[in-house]
Amino acid sequence: MRSRIRDLGMSAFVLAVTLWLAGCWTYSLQPLYEIGDKHLTYDPALTGIWRADGDHDCELVISADSTRQFYMIEVTAVGGSKSGDCNDPGAGKYEAHLEQLGTSRFLDASPRGDAESRGFIAPHTIFKVETTSNSLSLTPMSDSWLCNATPDVTRNFGQCVRDSDSDPNPDFFITASTAVLQEFIQRHADDENLFYTPDSALWHRAQASGASK
């Protein structure tokens, strides 16, 4: 199951935020948002060109449609380089929606392009979002925390998948409905064990965007 899901588009899922997360992934089969969702929101501060700390060759180009409340994220190579993972055809375009749950905000990103055009189910990856005028923090969910949580915490929420009993990097697949997912995320929004902060979660603004509609 694990390898098949990755084959159905995960290999193309090279969103720069997750390039260095030690191979751990948290995917949701259902989105965090619904059309007309009262929690959907828009923040123009997310738009622009963002570059990560450290020696990474990718940058995020985020544009938005404020009327329909969604973002388009494109992963490109810094400086227009023609080499590296950031130039894989169809691998670097994502649609994202911003949700305000309680006092915290979360970005639901889903790949667009090759995986979608081939009829595969596009998974959703959820990040906790914090912004200032020149910085963007995208904090992912921890597979390790979810896989090691007590059954009462993750019951009816999803499933941990390991290659073997000793697999140090399991994957957690969220199967819960959007309503259950929203409730779970809001309840654990401030849990630093679930929303852990990798060394390179912080992005800095390289250029403001004028691409919002």
Q: What is the dihedral of CA 36, 40, 44, 47, to 10 degrees?
A: -100
| Summary count for the chain: helices (H), strands (E) | 5, 12
pLDDT tens for 104-140 read 999 999 887 654 544 456 789 899 999 888 889 888 8
pLDDT of residue 11: 36
State the Cα–Cα distance between residues 55 and 77, nearest whole angstrom. 12
| Residues 193 and 145: beta-carbon distance below 8 Å | yes
Distance of CA 10 to the CA centre of its chain: 13
Q: Sign of the CA dihedral 14, 9, 112, 45?
A: negative
| Per-residue pLDDT at 1 exceeds 50 | no
Q: Which residues contact 69 (CB under 8 A, 6 or more apart)?
A: 40, 41, 42, 97, 98
For 157-192, give one letter per residue: b (16+ CB within 10 A) or e.
Answer: bbebbeeeeeeeebbbbbebebeebbebbbebbeee
Phi then psi for residue 154, to 5 deg, are -105, 10
173 pairs with which residues across the strands? Answer: 27, 159
pLDDT tens for 59-107 read 888 999 988 889 999 888 776 665 555 655 445 788 999 999 999 999 9
